[in-house]
Structure 1
Amino acid sequence: MTLKEYPVWIEGVSFPREPAGQALPARVDVAIIGAGYTGLAAARELARRGARVAVLEARTIGWGASSRNGGMVLSGLKLEAHDLAARYGMAAARRMFAASLASIDWVEQVVREEAIACDFRRSGHVLVASKPAHFRMFEREATLLAREFGHATRLLPPSELRAEIGSGAYHGGLLDEVSAGLNPARYVAGLGHAAARAGALLFERAEVRRLARQGGGWRVYSARGKLQADRVLAAGGAYTGGFAPRLQRRIVPLGSYIIATAPLPEGLAHELIAHDRMVFDSKRLLCYYRLTPDRRMLFGGRARFFPESPRMVRESAAVLRHQMEQVFPQLRGVPAEYAWGGTLDATFDLMPHAGQHDGLHYAIGYAGHGVAMASYLGAQLGAQLAGAPSENPFDGLPFPGAPPGLYGRRPWLLPLAGAWYRLLDWLA
């Protein structure tokens, strides 16, 4: 069987396309760079509020991580609740965690309002303990979430975990029933159609190469010409280019890779993940997996740290295949039909950041939690740019970056980071 090196999600999806002959306008209220979740959610919000908006995408609508991820709509952030509280204080941590829950609600609402057929379902997630010590950390996390955040989760000791996951590889789990799953390509395509219906102008193959301040606004130079914008929102995630060097130096573009098997018999699928949960493990170099609506096992992880390329996809597919069979020996001999990669945007503090610097607005740094949070923060910034009050708890956070000269356009330090995380996982 020939491996299909593209996301299983995009089969049969109708992405929005710009009208033939559409030219860049001379002037807009807001120019948005990037047509993923952040950019399209912001464009929809702005256009619905009467703003003239142009979305400039370097490739095609939804091309990047927005259509290449695992389709997990998760509560929480990359940092666990106790880490958030230790770093930012309990009051700020509560606001951030509440935003993660509100982000899932936002996705559910827009899917309903715009009739986006993306298989959205509140199936919940299970965080599984790769080591016994990790389960003891789950006990502390569950207690803190209930006491300080008013958020209920359920501990699953190994004997109960087997009712959720047909694997003996773990030492318990933590179940959160608030999370959801969806088809990310259908979702981002739906966001694009919704933004266009609201009046936003979408431009593909319009890579932004340079920004220049002009009066109180911006001159935006793209592969398809230039335009004037009162304000600019950088929403390109890991694909942020040299037009915003300060942002670029604060983003680590991490490769994340996924395989999808052939459709499984119904009985085997139920044995592996009984309740269609989203599942991910507690390692730093984590694995994550789920069933697709047509009962494929979708299995992903940081098999390679570099951003996606054909060679990285093929190498990662072999690594992921081995990892999947370690977790689920039942899948030995089941062919993988799809393999693909995407590049996610992590920051040096593993936190999302959304605000503005020197007049450039941005939302970035979702570290694998972007389906919900990128959508939510895009909508929040869109509303804010239209004059609404901000409800963004990530504005004003210290935003660390690499020292000048240490980290630039080429992420040469990624193999070192990968080796360090593997060592930490081994020592933990």
Structure 2
Amino acid sequence: MPNELFTGDFKAAPYWWDAVPRPEMPPGEPPQQADVVVIGSGYTGLHAALQTARGGRRTVVLDAEAAGFGCSTRNGGQISTSVKPGFAELARRHGRERAFAILQEGRNSLRFIGDFVRDEKIDCNFGAVGRFHAAHAPGKYEELARSVDSQPKGLEVACHVVPRSEQRTEIGSDLYHGGVVYESHASVDPARYHQGLMQRAVAAGVEIVPHCAANGIERLGEDFLVATPRGTIRARNVVIATNGYTGPLTGWLRRRVIPIGSYVIATEELDPALVDRLIPRNRIVSDTRKVVYYYRASPDRRRILFGGRVSLNETDPRRSGPMLHAALSGIFPELAPARISHSWCGFVAYSFDELMHIGCHQGMHYAMGYCGSGVGMASYLGMRLGQQVLGLAEGRTAFDGLPFQTRPFYSGNPWFLAPSILYYRWRDRLAR
């Protein structure tokens, strides 16, 4: 790797972990009996566990790694209204009423996380800073402008168009062709948010057992036996909250999610005046490329955090770092001399219909497939999942009962990822 691009104290680990390292928790023995066993200690699992524990159920959370080791503390800290397909496409697939309800769930998820952080008094640098969604081609700007003018009635969101002539008010780059600001989209320190969520779960009585993988699930009458290297737990309910880290333990789910590495770098500390020129309004930023880049200033506004997909196949963050740096420098030439202090990767989970899914299969509850928009939606659907385990009517969602698609010959290894990325990059380059 080109060592001159990396700081002397470079870390192949998330920038967020500097202030909030993975917690040192004693490797205790899991209990032999529980009401609910949750597999996965990210946003989905902890929100589900918080609901069931506050509902009076003895709840155990298992994780193969440290608590929050996965993408819940590795993401870019951007929160949107989550749902990728638009109203017309969803209406074609599911009818207008269901399409409206699905998109409304995206709005619900953004509102939920803001309310949760406020009500639980979690110190995590949450702010409704707004998103500047930049057009990488003139035609994409026209599409964005039309979308602002033709929002479905009842699903309008606060947003405004920024023409290229005014682009510098939002971003210190001339690469793009204007864009749209979505005013309610938010930013967060994902590790601080996860830490606060975990503290609330533990206070509610949730037992978290890290470094203790579930390696077998067996049905025994009305109950489940969950096998781990340190003993077996008998439980009434099992929740699968593994998203991009779903493995052979749950083969049916593994065939329905596509794990995709999302890579992020943090620059070394920069002159605050430079950060103010590059991202003057402290927005989160994304663009219209299918192989998207997303970026923002760090909460202290001393660094730029820049993420995206830069390799056809999964790779080492030490190799992806220079590629991300080249893309960052293409947007902000002033950052070409800036070195990389952190480079890391987390696995998101896509679904074949680009929708998140929640349900129950063979008696096991699950929510996953957030398609890169997991901060808000994993929190929201995790909460709803916990309510569903409790049998509460308010746990119902617009995603209930949607077909969770797979493809022939797909077993969880996304062999088609490299040609798909090549195809979408070709389309991004051809955009006019």
Query: Which amino acid counterpart does residue 327 of structure 1 have in structure 2?
Result: I
SS in 1 for 2:11: coil
Which segment is superposed worse, 148-157 or 159-168?
148-157
Mapped contact 1:81–1:144 kept (Cα < 8 A): no
Deviations 1:278-306 (A, max 9, x none): 11011111111100112211111011254
TM-score (norm. length: structure 2): 0.94
SS in 2 for 1:376: helix
Q: Hey, what's the Cα distance between the residues in 1 that align with 2:133 and 2:74?
A: 21
Q: Residue 21 of structure 1: CA displacement? A: 6.2
Q: What's 2:4 paired with?
A: none
Mapped contact 1:278–1:290 kept (Cα < 8 A): yes
SS in 1 for 2:153: helix
Which segment is superposed worse, 224-233 or 82-91?
82-91
Query: Which amino acid counterpart does residue 422 of structure 1 have in structure 2?
Result: R
Q: What's 1:50 paired with?
A: 56
Please state if 1:415 is matched with 2:418: yes
Instruction: Indicate how the Cα distance of structure 1 residues 289 and 282 shifts in structure 2: closer, same or farther if over 3 A, else same.
Output: same
Please state if 1:290 is matched with 2:296: yes
Q: What's 1:205 paired with?
A: 211
Output aligned runs, 1:379-398, within 5 Å.
379-389=383-393, 390-398=395-403
Deviations 1:138-170 (A, max 9, x none): 123212326351323211111122210111111
Please state if 1:167 is matched with 2:170: no
Q: Hey, what's the Cα distance between the residues in 1 that align with 2:359 and 2:329?
A: 43
Mapped contact 2:22–2:69 kept (Cα < 8 A): no
Q: Residue 241 of structure 1: CA displacement? A: 1.5
Query: Which amino acid counterpart does residue 283 of structure 2 have in structure 1?
Result: R
Q: Hey, what's the Cα distance between the residues in 2 that align with 1:414 and 1:103?
A: 28
Q: What's 1:301 paired with?
A: 308
Mapped contact 2:317–2:343 kept (Cα < 8 A): yes
Query: Which amino acid counterpart does residue 48 of structure 1 have in structure 2?
Result: R
Mapped contact 2:225–2:233 kept (Cα < 8 A): yes
Please state if 1:60 is matched with 2:66: yes
SS in 2 for 1:147: coil
Q: Residue 409 of structure 1: CA displacement? A: 4.2
Please state if 1:118 is matched with 2:121: no
TM-score (norm. length: structure 1): 0.94
Query: Which amino acid counterpart does residue 286 of structure 1 have in structure 2?
Result: V
SS in 2 for 1:398: coil
Q: Hey, what's the Cα distance between the residues in 1 that align with 2:21 and 2:338?
A: 30
Q: What's 1:278 paired with?
A: 284
Output aligned runs, 1:102-117, within 5 Å.
102-117=108-123
Mapped contact 1:145–1:152 kept (Cα < 8 A): no
Instruction: Indicate how the Cα distance of structure 1 residues 335 and 237 shifts in structure 2: closer, same or farther if over 3 A, else same.
Output: same
Q: Residue 316 of structure 1: CA displacement? A: 1.1
Please state if 1:85 is matched with 2:91: yes
Please state if 1:134 is matched with 2:137: no
Query: Which amino acid counterpart does residue 391 of structure 2 have in structure 1?
Result: G
SS in 2 for 1:130: coil
SS in 2 for 1:55: strand
Q: Hey, what's the Cα distance between the residues in 1 that align with 2:379 and 2:242?
A: 13
Output aligned runs, 1:16-415, within 5 Å.
16-18=23-25, 20=26, 22-145=28-151, 147-295=153-301, 296-307=303-314, 311-389=315-393, 390-403=395-408, 406-415=409-418
Q: What's 1:13 paired with?
A: 20
CA RMSD of aligned residues (A): 1.7
Q: Residue 23 of structure 1: CA displacement? A: 2.1
Q: Hey, what's the Cα distance between the residues in 1 that align with 2:80 and 2:348?
A: 15
Instruction: Indicate how the Cα distance of structure 1 residues 160 and 92 shifts in structure 2: closer, same or farther if over 3 A, else same.
Output: farther
Query: Which amino acid counterpart does residue 366 of structure 1 have in structure 2?
Result: Y
The runs of 5 or more residues in structure 2 that have no matched partner are: 1-6
Instruction: Indicate how the Cα distance of structure 1 residues 270 and 21 shifts in structure 2: closer, same or farther if over 3 A, else same.
Output: closer
SS in 2 for 1:149: coil
Instruction: Indicate how the Cα distance of structure 1 residues 231 and 306 shifts in structure 2: closer, same or farther if over 3 A, else same.
Output: farther
Query: Which amino acid counterpart does residue 330 of structure 1 have in structure 2?
Result: E
Which segment is superposed worse, 370-379 or 144-153?
144-153
SS in 1 for 2:237: strand
SS in 2 for 1:145: coil
Query: Which amino acid counterpart does residue 281 of structure 2 have in structure 1?
Result: H
Mapped contact 1:260–1:338 kept (Cα < 8 A): yes
Instruction: Indicate how the Cα distance of structure 1 residues 88 and 134 shifts in structure 2: closer, same or farther if over 3 A, else same.
Output: farther
Mapped contact 2:82–2:374 kept (Cα < 8 A): no
Which segment is superposed worse, 255-264 or 63-72?
255-264
Mapped contact 1:196–1:202 kept (Cα < 8 A): yes
Query: Which amino acid counterpart does residue 416 of structure 2 have in structure 1?
Result: L
Instruction: Indicate how the Cα distance of structure 1 residues 251 and 335 shifts in structure 2: closer, same or farther if over 3 A, else same.
Output: same
Query: Which amino acid counterpart does residue 418 of structure 2 have in structure 1?
Result: P
Deviations 1:296-331 (A, max 9, x none): 111110112544xxx521221111111101111121
Q: Hey, what's the Cα distance between the residues in 1 that align with 2:381 and 2:151?
A: 23
Query: Which amino acid counterpart does residue 7 of structure 1 have in structure 2?
Result: P
Query: Which amino acid counterpart does residue 300 of structure 1 have in structure 2?
Result: G
Q: Residue 136 of structure 1: CA displacement? A: 1.7
Q: Residue 53 of structure 1: CA displacement? A: 0.6
